[in-house]
Amino acid sequence: MSRHVFFCPELAQDSRQLELASNEAHHLATVLRLRKGDEIVLMNGNGLTADAILENVEKWHVNCQVQSVSEHRRPVPMRLYIAPPRNKNMELVIRCATELGVSRITPVLCEYGVSRPDSDKEGWRQTAIVACKQSRNPYLPQMDAPLPFADALANCHETSFLGAVPASGASTRGEVTMTPEGFALWVGPEGGFSEAETRALLEAGAVPVTVGPCILRVETAVPALLGAIYAAYLPH
């Protein structure tokens, strides 16, 4: 049976004794019902994981002894520029993107966007933490505040891909040079990017990509397009 994973941002290379945050402790003690002496895995969201043994287990307080710490290689940076869909669909996008190793998520306010989220999205971060734990991705993605489309494009320095409609004839074939900042995927709202936004992305060098003949919902398009880009361009 695989050991349970817990988020512990205080984990460092020289950690020996650690206390879990109250929400993680409550889940460990009350939901999972782990006990003193059980082995767990810790992650700090910044590339470190650790094997640890539980020493003290109470409802809201859990202490553990760190046995060994491992540092994981940082993957090729992948940034997701996403016009946020409504409510739970954005959480689904974040979960899928985190499981697939996206390093940064930037919500973009587009002309046809239906959601105008504010910058206080602690729930999004918690969704990403849960996805990191489930997938054992040791890197928690950076979560940006929403940006207007023009500002997001002006600050984009990655090699960009544009999620395109099937009629565009786009594909993930051809030579693409990755910048030092890595790759980026732009996915528009349910109504798609406006003509002006699409033109601006293409003029900035974004490569249009599509998967299959069907028009996809945003929460479906994100993992499908990321998978296609990873398969075509990222080292395995």
Q: Are residues 49 and 92 in the same domain?
A: no
Q: Are residues 147 and 215 in the same domain?
A: yes
Three-class SS state of 118: coil
Q: Are residues 177 and 64 in the same domain?
A: no
Residue 186 CB contacts under 8 Å (≥ 6 apart), including other chains = 81, 108, 160, 161, 162, 163, 193, 201, 206
Count how many domains the chain has: 2
Q: Are residues 46 and 159 in the same domain?
A: no
Q: Which domain holds residue 103?
A: 78-233
Q: Where does a domain end: 48, 71, 94? A: 71
pLDDT digit string, tens, across residues 64-89 = 999 999 999 988 999 999 999 877 88
Is 133 in contact with 127 (CB distance < 8 Å)?
Answer: no
Note the Cα 125 to chain centre separation in Å. Answer: 9
Q: Are residues 39 and 120 in the same domain?
A: no
Which of 118-144 are b and which e, b meaning 16 or more Cβ less than 10 Å from the residue's Cβ? Answer: eeebeebbebbbebbbeeebbbbbebb
CATH number at residue 60: 2.40.240.20
Q: What integer is the mean pLDDT of 16-38? A: 96
Q: Are residues 88 and 62 in the same domain?
A: no
CATH number at residue 198: 3.40.1280.10
pLDDT digit string, tens, across residues 93-149 = 999 999 999 999 999 999 988 776 765 577 899 999 999 999 999 999 999 999 999
Q: Are residues 194 and 217 in the same domain?
A: yes
Distance of alpha carbon 38 from alpha carbon 43, whole angstroms:
17
Q: What is the pLDDT of residue 176?
A: 76
Q: Are residues 35 and 91 in the same domain?
A: no
DSSP codes of every residue in 36-70: TT-EEEEE-SBSEEEEEEEEEE-SS-EEEEEEEEE
Q: Are residues 59 and 83 in the same domain?
A: no
Q: Are residues 64 and 82 in the same domain?
A: no
Q: Where does a domain end: 23, 47, 71? A: 71
- Pick 118 or 234 by higher pLDDT: 234
Mean pLDDT (the chain, rounded): 90
Confidence of residue 212 (pLDDT cuts 50, 70, 90): confident
The pTM for the full model equals 0.90
Is 105 in contact with 96 (CB distance < 8 Å)?
Answer: no
Q: Are residues 27 and 101 in the same domain?
A: no
